[in-house]
Amino acid sequence: MKISYSITAISRWTYNLLVKWGLNEDLAAYVNLFALLFALIILVYLTQHVVRRMLRIVLIRISKRTDIKFFHHLLNNRLPHYLALIATLVLINAAIPVIFIDFPDLIKPMNVIADVYLVLIIIWMVMAIIRAGGDDLRTKPAFREKPIDSYMQVIRMILFLIGAVVIFSNLTGKSPLAFFTAMGAISAVLLLMFKDTIMGFVASIQVTANDTVRIGDWITMPKYGADGDVIEINLTTVKVQNFDKTITTIPTYSLISDSFQNWRGMSQAGGRRIKRAIFIKQSTIRFITPAELEKFKKIQSLTSYIEHRQKDIDKNNERLGIDKSLLLNGRNLTNAGLYRKYIDTYIANHSGTHKKMTMMVRHLAPTANGLPLELYVFTSTTKWADYEHIMADIFDHLIAAAPFFDLQIYESEASGDMTTLSFTDPLTINRSQ
């Protein structure tokens, strides 16, 4: 009240001074109004600056002494700024009746505007606290992958809806019930306007409840050109940073309405699948003669296998009385079979393969491009670069090893570059034997 009396005294003094200087009463009233408004603006700015500065110092000291990160997040979300605005608004409310003393019709509208501004400040202040809480939750391991932004947006919408009701009540002088009655009359239009928001809200709840997608997950969604890591999930959109560092925005609702691939299971399992085939030229697949077996036994990983396998074959052929003068009769080893076994042994001993996951080498249906010999194996790492290096290392070796089994890898003929392979290695097969 003392402040009000002081401002009133100043207002009357400046008004009388302007009249004394020769201004008429109406002009003096307007000049006095603008002079007081200018003085109030400067006073409000100084008050806001001082109060904000003091509150920042208090929060900084509390944050340092308690080592609680929440206070630091309050600073980052400008809580001192909004608290200082409340202090200045108190000053403005006290000054309005005095500044507009010569314009009494403007006092009530100014008070209403001040009340509306107070509602907005309270909403901003509450949102700053909630955002600070969200930032603090993101540092917790349990919430690091949760779509906190979606919940923040829902809370923001609820706060602004409450604020709109209060502002409507202040501006119209009617009860909040009248606002909801008016809202009900235009509910169809509102549902149409906020269709994406409502669908996104429902989708974000389902995504969280079903643990479909987390922040940090690698997802692939060809429909939207998304292939990368999820960096943000909010009420209406999901942001995916592709591996080329571009950002793809996906509607949140599409995560429950459309299909997509989430690679989280692969990352958690600790192994990434290799599923790739080598195409063998089928005309190079043949039986192995007994004389050639000694050469193949020099391949260390096959020595034991060949000895045991050949004993089983010989016993079977003897038991059935097979005429082995013709190589086709009975059971025989083939160069493709030995190559397949070699691949089995090689990937089982490779340092980059996951030993507790499926390892398999299989034939697929023959094609016009040769016989596909497919590797189905998992690497011991899920890192992309390491995965590519391991896969390249395996196939480099297997392609280079194929000629040692007298096999050719199929290639489409181009510019007459298909040539017969010749080798000087001791394991090279002599077809004349």
Q: Where are the domains of the chain?
A: 2-144, 210-263, 272-405
Q: With cut-offs at 50, 70 and 90, classify the pLDDT of residue 12.
A: low
> Minimum mean pLDDT among 11-20, 141-150, 235-244: which range?
11-20
pLDDT of residue 84: 87
Positive or negative torsion for Cα 41, 43, 49, 52: negative
Cα–Cα distance list, 143 to 319, 380, 431 (Å) = 69, 28, 67
328-342 mean pLDDT: 91
Residue at 176: amino acid letter = P
pTM of the model: 0.57
Q: Is the pLDDT of residue 335 over 90?
A: yes
Higher pLDDT, 9 or 362: 362
Distance from C-alpha of 291 to C-alpha of 336, rounded to nearest angstrom:
17
The pLDDT value recorded for residue 20 is 61
pLDDT band of 8, cuts 50, 70, 90? low
How much is the pLDDT for 399? 95
Rounded-to-integer distance, Cα 186 and Cα 181, Å? 9
N-terminal to C-terminal alpha carbon distance within the chain: 118
242 DSSP β-pair partners: 228
> How many Cβ atoms sit within 10 Å of the Cβ of residue 362?
11
- % of the chain beyond a pLDDT of 90: 27
State the Cα–Cα distance between residues 408 and 405, nearest whole angstrom: 9
Identify the burial level of 317 via C-beta atoms within 10 angstroms of its C-beta, where 0-12 means exposed, 13-18 middle and 19 or more buried. Answer: middle
Which of 23-32, 257-266, 307-316 is the least confident region?
Answer: 23-32
Count CA within 13 A, CB hemisphere, residue 244: 5
Q: For domain 210-263, give the CATH number.
A: 2.30.30.60
CB of 94 closer than 8 Å to CB of 110: no
- Check residue 428 and give its pLDDT: 44
Average pLDDT, the chain: 81
Query: Residue 424 — pLDDT band, cuts 50, 70, 90?
Result: very low
- The reported pLDDT for the residue numbered 365 is 94
Residue 15: which pLDDT band, with cuts at 50, 70 and 90? low
Quote the tokens at residue 425. 């290695």
Structural contact between residues 279 and 273, judged by C-beta atoms closer than 8 angstroms: no
> What residue type is assigned to position 187 of the chain?
S
